[in-house]
């Protein structure tokens, strides 16, 4: 059983592939036997329910239809492999390099953005743990000066992972905190600065303007920074994540996606839909609460896990 299947809610009872077989395609032979339109219509509904979104779903269905007409989809295994290949291809289209970008001269600055509750704090802690394990000196900047306890939570992660830590006072200007943190990173010889930001509704114009200011100030302090702007999306909220991706990428130059809480959702198609929506790489996925449950994204592995037997 795949790791995603082990963690993801109802996936062990009814994985996406099982739903495709049991609901959409009770008998894959119907594709070859003349009920092509009915079978693919059921498959289309199942993929949309799994949060693939309409554009990706229609493209996957069109590709399967062509293969079916050529007589290539006569078994469950053939259909499974064709769909898995289609998902992998969608994730590898456009900008898809999952590796983090590091600056030629330190420090590398990573700006982390997203709405409240998406899992930014936990992601930053896990990322810090991974970078520290790679031998990098990390500084975490608590530029979320609005949420009570935000800095305290990050401080705990910094202590746990052995990272440096900089925070501003309550209601301090987030851009100033980011600037001061980079100053501290330069003075202390840190390799990477991870800048947290306040969770904000993507529909709040004033908060999005504030985010733009943080990015501008970082760019003034370090040429080419932020070197990564990672948008954290909650994998359980469906197509709302796509809208968030569009709004944040319109405000700041998002360079990568982090999809969290996939352990709590059987609808992993949102990973494909979010990538499709703004054409930036999926950099990480979170499949559990432990530090080791943050995975560098691998399209082939994800497609295989998503369509595991369950």
**pLDDT score of 217:** 97
Looking at residue 267, its pLDDT comes to 73
Angle, vertex CA 84, rays to CA 82 and CA 87, nearest 5: 110
Fold of the 108-298 domain: Rossmann fold (3.40.50)
Tell me the pLDDT tens digit for each residue of 152-177. 999 999 999 999 999 987 778 999 99
pLDDT at 115 over 70: yes
Bridge partner residues of 167 (DSSP): 142
pLDDT band at 22 (very low <50, low <70, confident <90, very high): confident
Distance of CA 157 to the CA centre of its chain: 21
Phi/psi region, residue 11 (left: phi>0; alpha: psi -120 to 50; beta: rest), is alpha
Q: Give the SS3 label for residue 193.
A: strand
Q: Dmax of the chain from CA atoms?
A: 71
- Which residue in this structure is represented by tokens 């059983």? 1
Instruction: Write down the pLDDT at residue 25.
Output: 58
pTM (2 decimals)? Answer: 0.90
Strand (E) or helix (H) holding 213: helix 205-221
pLDDT above 90 for 149: no
Task: Tell me the percentage of the chain whose pLDDT exceeds 90.
Answer: 63
Where do the CATH 1.20.120 domains begin and end in the chain? 3-92
- Rounded CA-CA distance 76/159 in Å is 50
Q: What is the pLDDT of residue 31?
A: 54
pLDDT of residue 79: 87
DSSP 107: P
Choice between 301 and 28, residue whose per-residue pLDDT is larger: 301
pLDDT tens digits for 198-228? 887 756 788 889 999 999 999 999 999 999 9
Residue 36 pLDDT: 52
Mean pLDDT along residues 274-300: 91
Residue showing tokens 């590796």: 99
Mean of pLDDT over the chain: 87
- What is the per-residue burial (b if ≥16 Cβ within 10 Å, else e) of 153-188? bbeebbeebebbbbbbeeebbbbebbbbbbebbeee
pLDDT the model gives residue 3? 40
Q: pLDDT digit string (tens) for 216-266?
A: 999 999 999 999 999 999 999 999 999 999 999 999 999 999 999 987 556
| CATH code of the domain occupying 3-92 | 1.20.120
Cα distance between residue 241 and residue 190, in whole Å = 33
Residue 103, both tokens: 């600056």
Burial class (CB in 10 A: 0-12, 13-18, 19+), 245: buried
Q: Which segments of 114-214 are extended strands (E)?
A: 138-143, 164-167, 192-197
How many C-beta atoms lie closer than 10 Å to residue 89's C-beta?
A: 14
* For residues 111-122, average pLDDT: 93
pLDDT of the residue at 26: 56
Residue 199: per-residue pLDDT: 81
């Amino acid at each position: 059983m795949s790791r995603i299947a082990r963690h993801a809610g109802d996936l062990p009872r009814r994985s996406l592939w099982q739903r495709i077989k049991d609901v959409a395609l009770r008998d894959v032979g119907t594709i070859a036997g003349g009920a092509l339109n009915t079978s693919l219509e059921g498959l289309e509904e199942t993929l949309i329910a799994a949060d693939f979104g309409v554009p990706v779903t229609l493209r996957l269905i069109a590709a399967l239809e062509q293969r079916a007409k050529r007589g290539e989809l006569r078994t469950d295994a053939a259909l499974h492999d064709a769909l898995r290949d289609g998902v992998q291809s969608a994730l590898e289209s456009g900008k898809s390099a999952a590796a983090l970008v590091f600056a030629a001269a330190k420090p590398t600055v990573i700006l982390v953005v997203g709405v409240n509750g998406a899992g930014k704090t936990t992601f930053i802690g896990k990322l810090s743990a991974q970078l520290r394990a790679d031998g990098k000196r990390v500084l975490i900047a608590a530029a979320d000066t609005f949420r009570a306890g935000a800095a305290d939570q990050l401080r705990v992660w910094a202590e746990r992972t052995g990272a440096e830590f900089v925070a501003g006072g309550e209601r301090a200007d987030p851009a100033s905190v980011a600037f001061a943190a980079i100053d501290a990173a330069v003075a202390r010889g840190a390799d990477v600065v991870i800048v947290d930001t306040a969770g904000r509704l993507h529909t709040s114009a004033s908060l999005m303007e504030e985010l733009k200011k943080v990015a501008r100030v970082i760019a003034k302090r370090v040429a080419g920074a932020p070197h990564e702007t990672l948008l954290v999306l909650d994998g359980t909220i469906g197509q709302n994540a796509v809208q968030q991706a569009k709004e944040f990428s319109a405000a700041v130059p998002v360079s990568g996606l982090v999809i969290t809480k996939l352990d709590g959702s059987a609808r992993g198609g949102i990973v494909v839909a979010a990538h499709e929506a703004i054409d930036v790489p999926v950099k990480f996925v979170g499949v559990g609460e432990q530090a080791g449950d943050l995975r560098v994204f691998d399209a082939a592995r994800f497609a295989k896990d998503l369509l595991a037997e369950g």
